[in-house]
Amino acid sequence: MRFLNYVRRNKSLGAGLIILVALILFASVGRLVVDTERAYPLATPPNRSPSLAYPFGTDSQGRDLLAVAVQGTYLTSRIGVTAGVIGLTVGVILGFLAAYYGGVLDTTIRWVVDVLLTVPGLLVLVVIASTIRRGMSVNGMALVVAILAWMWPTRTVRSQVLSLRERAFVRVAKLSGMSSLEIIFRELMPNLLPYLGAALVGSVTGAIFASLGLEALGLGPMREPTLGMTIYWMMFYSAFVRGLWWWILVPVLIILFIFVGLFLVSAGLDELANPRLRRRV
């Protein structure tokens, strides 16, 4: 109840949650109602404009764009969430190890992160995706994106833990005989939950951005109707030149809704995590 009251007052968080819940319902309920097999080539007549039979029209490969929208939203979200969770999990583990234990471990982790952050991430992902392009799947795409998704979480979590480590409640916990793991999970982790929520949203957003970029270059799962691959095929078949506006509109609008929803949720969680911005509930 308290959280609902807070969401009402935090308009950014509330609006973002509404958009994301609507997209989740669209993808989950849509998969029960819409025949997702029509999201694959040669399932319907090609290049049909929106009509009662095909509300979102069809593309040059004979795919029903309503089915593509449903399946693409689900697959793209799956890639983003999987890569984001993996990246944040690795980042949290490395960030806690570096900040809490310090010493040589902290120096090594910090040095590795600093070096890797100077390398153009998209270039590395393009090289990796190009190497395994033929066997690329949705799960493979998520793992490729997750390869570089842990670096920023590691740096930011480390800085947060360094700040909390010097607080009085941590010193009291040490004096009371609590072990390092108990302090991490019972004292530090609960204080970082709002921040980790915002970091997860940021990781998912970055992962979706990366996957869309790779897929638009033709380096994604070629047989799957993800939003990025839909954009790739749209450019491959020159939808702009041929005036197939409905083919262009479908993935662009869904991507726009995804990023607006994630941005608003991130802004709302940042207010919750930042004491200077936090409002009273």
Distance CA 125, CA 142 (A): 11
In 10 A of CB 34, how many CB atoms? 19
Per the structure block, which two tokens stand in for 245? Answer: 């506006």
Structural domains of the chain ordered from first start: 12-42+55-273 (1.10.3720.10)
pLDDT in tens, 57-78: 999 999 999 999 999 999 999 9
Residue 56 and residue 72 in contact, taking contact as beta carbons nearer than 8 Å = no
pTM, 2 dp = 0.90
Residue 251 and residue 72 in contact, taking contact as beta carbons nearer than 8 Å = yes
pLDDT averaged over every residue in the chain: 89
pLDDT in tens, 89-103: 999 999 999 988 888
Beta bridge partners of 64: 58
Distance CA 188, CA 274 (A): 16
Residue 170 and residue 188 in contact, taking contact as beta carbons nearer than 8 Å = yes
pLDDT in tens, 104-134: 999 999 999 988 888 888 888 998 888 887 7
pLDDT higher than threshold 80 for residue 274: no
Average pLDDT over residues 240-256: 94
